[in-house]
Structure 1
Amino acid sequence: MFDFLPDTTRLAQIFAQATAPTFFLGAVAGFVSLMASRLSGVMERARALNAIAEDDHARVHLKSDLERLRRRARFLNSGILAALRGGLCSTLLLAVLFVTEFIGLKYAYGAGLLFVIATGFLGFALFRFAQEARISLSEIDEQQ
């Protein structure tokens, strides 16, 4: 029969095992916040450029930067979604750790696989962030 009431030693072991996924989840949250902030700035800049009238000959050339801003927004959006998927895997990992410990099942392969998947998603998000950072600075950004 399943032992649904773990003793304090077993509970301490569960919490110790949950430390790494919890820190991972915190890192994902911070990273998503950073990318969302950058995406907000990109979208504000795109809106400002789209608001330039076609007959404003002194500033209409700034609209040529819209395609670069769209690429940045796509990279950031893709990175945010990947990081969130990694966060979901980490959250699922935490649930698996607790549920399987409470009912006494073995979870080593499943937990390891979930952590590898979560890390893969976060790695892809970092790659997208690097792509966005590479194209983020331009001389045209300094102009209004």
Structure 2
Amino acid sequence: MIANANDVTTLGHTIELAIAPVFLLVAAGGFLNVLAGRLARIVDRARTRGQILMEATGHQHESIKEELRAIDRRIGLVNAAISLVVLAAVLICLVVILLFAAKMVDIMLYDVISVLFAVAMVSIAAGFSLFLVETRIASRWIHVSSDLLEHQVMMDEKKD
């Protein structure tokens, strides 16, 4: 089958329309990579702190338990963010597929495509929001020891 110039122009226009969602798909993939890396580090922290908890007593034991509760919440938030971004990626894929299907079959799917794209954007925004909440929780647990903050260099140490 030989395509006429109008078909090629229409296909070219459809490809142009699909480029923006594809770039969004690439960005979602990058964000998923960040979230997966963050989740791995949080899980590592949970394992390390869990081992320390088994030997801790008193105030240290309670402090570590409290931190582990926060870590558990962070894991849940990152997992939810991953789910939302994956949902957005699937919806973006559907947008691209439907853009081509609408042109090929010559049916009006623009309302459906618009809704899918809007839901994808809401899903990504929600994923970013959960990421923000998770990073805020993490920053509350970053402590610089007052011993370090108030450390004074001894005169003997300066000579070395």
Q: Secondary structure at the match of 1:65?
A: helix
Which stretch has the larger CA shift, 77-86 or 55-64? 55-64
The residue aligned with 2:86 is: 84
Helix, strand or coil for the counterpart of 1:111?
Answer: helix
- Output aligned runs, 1:49-64, within 5 Å: 49-52=49-52, 54-57=54-57, 60=61, 61-64=63-66
Residue 55 of structure 1 and its aligned partner are, at CA, apart by: 3.4
Equivalent position of 1:107 in the other structure: 109
Question: Please, which of 124, 137, 142 is the counterpart of residue 139 of structure 1?
Answer: 142
Rg larger in structure: 2
| Cα distance in 1 between the residues matched to 2:66 and 2:107 | 59
Distance across 1 between alignment mates of 2:55 and 2:24: 51
1:48 equivalenced with 2:45 (yes/no) = no
Structure 1 residues 104 and 67 mapped into 2: Cα distance closer, same or farther (>3 Å)?
A: same
- For 1:22, the equivalent position in structure 2 comes to 22
1:55-87 per-residue CA deviation (whole Å, 9 max, x = no partner) reads 355964534310110111111110110011011
Residue equivalent to 2:9? 9
Q: 1:123 aligns with which of 122, 125, 142?
A: 125
Q: What TM-score, normalized to structure 2? A: 0.78
Higher helix fraction (1 or 2): 2
> CA–CA distance in 1 between the matches of 2:26 and 2:109?
23
Distance 1:98 1:127 in 2: 32
1:74 maps to 76
Looking at structure 2, the residues matched to 78 and 130 of structure 1 have their Cα atoms a distance apart, in angstroms, of: 12
Q: 1:128 to 1:46 in 2, by over 3 A?
A: same
Assess, with a 3 A threshold, how the Cα gap between structure 1 residues 32 and 24 changes in structure 2: closer, same or farther.
same
Q: CA–CA distance in 2 between the matches of 1:9 and 1:85?
A: 32
Q: Tell me the matched-pair count.
A: 138
Deviation at 1:43, TM superposition (A): 0.3
Structure 2 residue runs of 5 or longer lacking an equivalent are 146-160
Amino-acid identity (%):
25
Q: Which moved more, 1:99-108 or 1:35-44?
A: 99-108
Secondary structure of 1:135's aligned partner: helix
Contact 2:53/2:65 (8 A) holds in 1:
no
Q: Tell me which stretches of 4 or more aligned residues in structure 1 moved more than 6 Å.
A: none
When the two chains are superposed, the root-mean-square deviation of aligned CA atoms in Å is: 2.1
CA distance in 2, matches of 1:70, 1:77: 11
Higher RCO (CA < 8 A, seq sep 6+): 1
